[in-house]
Amino acid sequence: MSLFFSKIKRIFNLGFLFVGMVSYGQITYTGIVVDQDKQPLSGVEIRLEKYPSIGTTSDFQGRFKIDLESETQVKITHLGYKTLILTLSEKFTTIILELDSELLNEVVISASREQQSRRDIPGAISVLSATTIENTKTVELEQLVNQVPGVFMSASTVASNEEHMMAVRSPITTKALFLYLEDGLPIRPTAVFNHNALLEMNGTSFQRIEVLKGPSSSIYGSDAIGGSFNFITKSPSRDFRSSVGFEINDMGLKRYELEMSQFTNEDFGFYFGGHYVERKNGPMAHSDYEKFALTFKTVHHLSNTTTWTNVIDLIDYRSDSNGDLSTEDYKNGNYESDQTFTERVAKSFRFRSTLSKTWSSKNKTNLNFIFRNNELGQIPFYRITQFKKDGQLTGKAIGEINSDKFRSIVGLIQHKLNFDFKKSSLILGASLDYTPQEYIANPIDIIVDTETGQNLDYQLNPGKFILNYTADISNYAGYLQYEISPIPALKITTALRYDKFEYNYNNLIETSAGAKDTYSTYNHFSPKLGVNYNFSSTLGTYTSYSNGFTPPQASDLYRNNFVETGGNIFELKPSTYHNFEVGGYYQPSFKFKFDLSLYLLNGENTLVSLRDESDNFFNANIGSTQSMGIEYGFKYQFLPQFSIAHNGSFASHRYIDFFDRGVDYSHTEMAAAPKILGQSRLNYTPTYLNELTIGLEYELVGGYKTSFEGQAVTNENLPTTATYPGHHVFNLSALYRTKKIELWGHLLNVFDTLYAVRSSYNVFRKENTFTVGSPRAFHFGIKYHL
Give pLDDT tens digits for 76-105.
888 778 888 888 887 788 888 887 755 455
pLDDT at 101: 56
- In the chain, what are the domains? 20-96 (2.60.40.10), 103-228 (2.170.130.10), 229-785 (2.40.170.20)
Contact present, 749 and 773 (Cβ < 8 Å): yes
Rounded Cα gap, residues 403 and 405, in angstroms: 7
Kindly report the number of other CB atoms within 10 A of residue 666's CB atom: 14
Q: Residue 255 in contact with residue 246, Cβ under 8 Å?
A: yes
Mean pLDDT of the region 333-361: 93
Mean pLDDT of 23-40: 77
Residues 57-72 have a mean pLDDT of 82
Centroid of chain to Cα 128: 11
Contacts (Cβ under 8 Å, ≥6 apart) of 171: 653, 670, 671, 672, 673, 704
pLDDT in tens, 403-420: 999 999 999 999 999 998
CA distance 143 to 698: 11
What are the distances in angstroms from CA 56 to CA 96, 215, 235, 356?
A: 17, 38, 25, 19
Mean pLDDT of the residues in the chain: 89
**Cα(623)–Cα(626) distance, rounded to whole angstroms?**
11
pLDDT at 564: 67
DSSP state of 557: H
730-755: average pLDDT: 95
pLDDT level of residue 612 (50, 70, 90 thresholds): low
Which segment of 15-19, 153-157, 521-525 scores lowest on mean pLDDT?
Answer: 15-19
- The answer on pLDDT for 106 being more than 80 is no
**Partners of residue 728 on adjacent β-strands:** 700
**Is the pLDDT confidence value at 17 over 80?**
no
Lowest-confidence pick of 129-143, 364-378, 736-750? 129-143
- Most confident segment among 54-68, 562-576, 744-758: 744-758
Question: Helix (H, G, I), strand (E, B), or coil: what is residue 292?
Answer: strand
The amino acid present at 579, given as its one-letter code, is N
List the 84-87 sheet strands across, edge first.
Answer: 55-57, 45-48, 73-77, 84-87
Q: How far apart are CA 132 and CA 208, in angstroms?
A: 8
Which element (helix H / strand E) includes 781?
strand 777-785
Report CA Rg, the chain.
Answer: 29
- Quick: pLDDT tens for 189-212: 988 999 999 999 999 999 999 999
Report the alpha-carbon distance of residue 773 to residue 140 in Å, rounded. Answer: 12
The neighbour count for residue 663, using CB atoms within 10 Å, is 11
Would you put residue 514 in left (φ > 0), alpha (ψ -120 to 50) or beta? left
Mean pLDDT of 609-638: 82
**For the segment 749-772, what is each residue's pLDDT rounded down to a tens digit?**
999 999 999 999 988 788 999 999
Report the percent of the chain where pLDDT is more than 90.
62
Q: What number is the average pLDDT over the span 141-151?
A: 93
Lowest mean pLDDT among 306-310, 606-610, 680-684, 778-782: 606-610
How are beta strands 165-168 and 151-154 bridged, if at all? antiparallel
Which one, of 443, 518, 421, 524, lies nearest residue 479 by Cα?
A: 524
User: Residue range 60-75: average pLDDT?
Assistant: 82
pLDDT for residue 681 is more than 50? yes
Give the pLDDT score at 21: 42
Least confident window among 196-210, 376-390, 604-618: 604-618
Query: How confident is the model over 478-524, as pLDDT tens digits?
Result: 999 999 999 999 999 999 999 999 999 999 998 888 888 999 999 99
DSSP class of residue 325 equals: B
**How far is residue 712's CA from residue 714's CA, in Å, rounded to a whole number?**
7
Of 402-406, 561-565, 721-725, least confident by mean pLDDT is 561-565
628-656 exposure pattern, b = at least 16 Cβ within 10 A, e = fewer: bbebbbbbebeeeeebebbbbbbbebbbb
Q: Would you say residue 14 has pLDDT above 60? A: no
Q: Is the CB of residue 246 less than 8 Å from the CB of residue 744? A: no
At 13, the pLDDT band (50, 70, 90 cuts) reads low
Q: In whole angstroms, what is the distance from residue 221 CA to residue 179 CA? A: 9
The per-residue b/e assignment along 242-256, b for 16 or more CB within 10 angstroms, e otherwise, is ebebebebebbbebe
CB of 304 closer than 8 Å to CB of 65: no
Question: Can you give the pLDDT at residue 266?
Answer: 85
pTM exceeding the 0.75 threshold for the entire prediction: yes
pLDDT at 319 exceeding the cut of 80? yes
pLDDT at 219: 83
SS3 for 540? strand
With 60 as the cut, is the pLDDT of residue 18 above it?
no
| Length in residues, the chain | 786
Q: Which of 618, 499, 509 is nearest to 557 (CA)?
A: 618
pLDDT digits (tens, 9 = 90+) for 221-273: 887 899 999 999 999 998 899 999 999 999 999 999 999 999 999 899 999 99
pLDDT for 20 equals: 46
Question: Is pLDDT of 9 > 70?
Answer: no
Lowest mean pLDDT among 12-16, 136-140, 344-348, 636-640: 12-16
